[in-house]
Amino acid sequence: MPLLAAALLALAPLGASGQEARRIMEEAQKRTRASSEHYEGTLQVFDAKGKISDKRWTFDRLGSHGSSRSVLRFTAPPEVKGVALLVVNHPDRASDQWMWTPAIERDRRVALQDRSQRFFGTDFSFEDLEERDVDQYDYSLDGEESLNGAACWRIVAKPRATKVSQYTQSRVWVRKDNYAYQQVESLIKSQVVRVLKYSDIQNVQGIWTGRTLEMTDLRRKSRTVLKLDELRYNVPMKEEDFTLQALRRNQ
C-alpha cells in the first residue's frame, strides 16, 4: 500500500495522508473484485530446523469483499484430508468461522480468542484466512519503497474498533504499476510477527494475482510457501455449498 516520502509525510496534514492511503487501498481492492474464486493450493511448511512437510487444499470463495463466504478444505496428506474451514465474512465486524474435522465427525465454531492460532500446522493463523476489507481499517501513508524491483507505496493499516484482531497494525506494500500487494507485515505493538510475501504475480482474467505466497512466522522461525494452481475467477457457484451443512456433507 502507498507511501509518501517520510520527510514529505511529516509535513503533510494527517487527514490528507489518510485520504490518499485509503484511495490507494480502495483502488487495490477494486481491481481484485470478482464474484467468485477457486484455486487448488500446494503448501510446503518449513520448520525452524528446516524440516519440510507438504500439504494440499482447495479454496472456494463466493461473494464480494466484505460479505463473502469461503471454504478451504485439505486434500492431502491423509492425516488432514477432509479437514475444512468455513469463513463467513462481514463488512462491519470479524468473520464467523467453523472448522469441520472428519476424524471425529464434528464441527466447532472458532472462537475470536482462538483466531491467533496456527491453522493446522501452517504458518497462517485463522485470522490470516479472513478477507481483508478496506472499510475495516484506518490508513496512513508511510513512504515509498521498491521491493523485488517493483516500485511500491507503503501503507500502515490499523484495525477499527469493530475489527477484532490479534494485530495492532499492518504495513502493506502496494505496487504502483498494477496495485497488487507485494508484501504485508503484521505487527503486535511494535514487533513484526508475520510477513507475507507475494511473487509470481500474473494477470489472471484481468486480475493481477500473486501465484506464490510465502508466510513467515518470525516468532516460530518457520515459513509456509503456498502456490496457487488451477486459479480461476467468476466461476459458477451455489450459495448452498457455503453452509455448515455443506461442510459436513462434502467430505
Q: The domain containing residue 62 runs over which residues? A: 6-249
- With respect to residue 171, please indicate whether it lies within any of the assigned structural domains: yes
Contacts with 139 (C-beta within 8 Å, 6 or more apart), sequence order? 1, 18, 21, 22, 24, 25, 155, 156, 157, 158
- Local confidence band at 104 (pLDDT 50, 70, 90 cut-offs): confident
- With respect to residue 67, please indicate whether it lies within any of the assigned structural domains: yes
- With respect to residue 211, please indicate whether it lies within any of the assigned structural domains: yes
- With respect to residue 104, please indicate whether it lies within any of the assigned structural domains: yes
pLDDT 10s digits, 30-79: 999 999 999 999 999 999 998 999 999 999 999 988 889 999 999 999 99
Query: Does the pLDDT of residue 226 top 80, yes or no?
Result: yes
The CA angle 139-174-169, to the nearest 5 degrees, is 40
213-228: average pLDDT:
98
- Local confidence band at 10 (pLDDT 50, 70, 90 cut-offs): very low
Where residue 116 sits, what CATH number does that domain have? 2.50.20.10
What pLDDT score does 3 carry? 38
- With respect to residue 1, please indicate whether it lies within any of the assigned structural domains: no
Q: How many domains does the chain have?
A: 1
Q: For residues 113, 193, 172 and 66, what is the CA-based torsion angle, rounded to 10 degrees?
A: -10
- With respect to residue 195, please indicate whether it lies within any of the assigned structural domains: yes
What pLDDT score does 7 carry? 34
What pLDDT score does 189 carry? 95
Do 184 and 196 form a contact (C-beta atoms < 8 A)?
A: yes
Q: What is the pTM of this model?
A: 0.91
What pLDDT score does 251 carry? 58
